[in-house]
């Protein structure tokens, strides 16, 4: 068994690592999000990294790291460096290229538009009643958030009636209903 491993040089091992990383990168690019659900999500939930956007530990970024580690380690070995310095060169190069891909992925994620309205976006905003709110009942208000007009089911904070076209302030969000008070 040891004679089998003695036939491999450090150069061959580094090239093998690069090839495995490259094949994994190609497979993850072709199969899409298949690998993202296996490792990345488990790590994010375990370490509470669910901030949205790509993780540094995603399959694509890690495969870029492994490919660069193997490739630059092989180049360093070819220039006569030993295994330890070649591993250092490979690690630094892998970290560098994985960081570039991560930064680019974060940039692309940040450019995505979303029509999602979060609770923080609407609480405290001024709105206008577009369907009158009867005493103890619900009506509808319209609020402008950025460029978008958002319509929400609303109830009055004091439980009283609020006529149509009245300016109100959003006090709280309860599920899909907002609680408003007169201005």
pLDDT in tens, 103-120: 998 888 877 766 565 666
Q: Do residues 22 and 79 both lie within one domain? A: yes
Q: What are phi and psi of 113, to 5 degrees?
A: -95, 150
> What pLDDT score was predicted for residue 42?
45
Q: Does residue 86 lie within any of the structural domains?
A: yes
CA–centroid distance for 176 within its chain? 25
H-helix or E-strand spanning residue 171: strand 167-174
From residue 20, alpha-carbon distances to 13, 14, 41, 144 in Å are 11, 10, 22, 51
Return the pLDDT at 2: 55
Domains identified in the chain, total number: 2
Token pair of 43, please?
Answer: 């790590």
Which of 93, 110, 127 is the C-terminal boundary of a domain? 110
């Amino acid at each position: 068994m040891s004679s089998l491993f003695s036939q491999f040089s450090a150069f061959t091992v580094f090239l093998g690592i690069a090839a495995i990383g490259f094949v994994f990168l190609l497979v993850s690019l072709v199969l899409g999000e298949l690998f993202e659900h296996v490792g990345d999500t488990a790590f994010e939930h375990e370490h509470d990294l669910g901030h949205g956007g790509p993780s540094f530990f995603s399959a694509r970024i890690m495969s870029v790291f492994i490919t660069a580690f193997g490739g630059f380690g092989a180049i360093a070995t070819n220039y006569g460096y030993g295994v330890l310095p070649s591993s250092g060169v490979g690690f630094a190069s892998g970290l560098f290229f994985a960081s570039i891909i991560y930064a680019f992925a974060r940039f692309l994620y940040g450019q995505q538009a979303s029509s999602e309205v979060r609770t923080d976006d609407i609480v405290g905003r001024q709105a206008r009643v577009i369907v009158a709110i009867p005493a103890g009942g619900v009506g509808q208000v319209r609020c402008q958030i950025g460029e978008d007009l958002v319509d929400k089911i609303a109830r009055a904070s004091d439980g009283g009636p609020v006529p149509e076209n009245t300016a109100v302030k959003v006090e709280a969000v309860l599920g899909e209903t907002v609680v408003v008070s007169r201005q």
